[in-house]
Structures are given as structure tokens and as C-alpha cells.
Amino acid sequence: MTEKKYTIEQHQAYREKVDAEEAEEKQARADKVEKEAARALWTQDGGSASDFEKAWPGMRDEARRDRIKNADQRAREEQRQYSTI
């Protein structure tokens, strides 16, 4: 009877799968926290939960655009700092 060996390739494939699953879970948790924080502010300001649910997709997309824009601006500022040195 031959013994099957656990190869480095098998381990790498396993780690890639597990890492991808963990990254997905981490992103889902971050999305949930972001949404709950926005919902809390929305309702504290007098908005209804049902109106928030309707508005959330647009708010989420707007926040994503803002994060990308801000990251781009920061990168440009850092590049300017390095180019003047």
C-alpha cells in the first residue's frame, strides 16, 4: 500500500483558498460595520430605516468613489513630496 504525500502545491492551493475565504469574510464584516454605522447616523438624524435601505446603495457607491478619489489625491501628494527631495 502506497502512502500519499501532501505536496507543497496542495498546501499552496489550500492556503490560497483559505486566504481568499478569509479576505471575503473580512470584507463582508467591514461592509456590515460601514452600513450599520451609516444606518445609526441616518436614524439619529431622524431618518427612517426603510428610507435608509433605499438610499444605501447610492450612499455606498458615493463613499467608495470618495475613498478612491482621496487615495488618489494622497498618492499624488506623496509623489510630489518625493519628487522635490
Q: Is the pLDDT of residue 4 over 90?
A: no
pLDDT (0 to 100) of residue 80 = 86
- Using alpha carbons only, how large is the chain's radius of gyration in Å? 22
Q: Give the mean model confidence (pLDDT) for residues 62-82.
A: 90
Between CA 85 and CA 79 the distance in angstroms is 10
pTM, entire model: 0.68
* Domain spans, the chain: 8-83
pLDDT (0 to 100) of residue 37 = 95
pLDDT (0 to 100) of residue 26 = 97
pLDDT (0 to 100) of residue 85 = 63
pLDDT tens per residue, range 12-64: 999 999 999 999 999 999 999 999 999 999 999 999 999 999 999 999 999 99
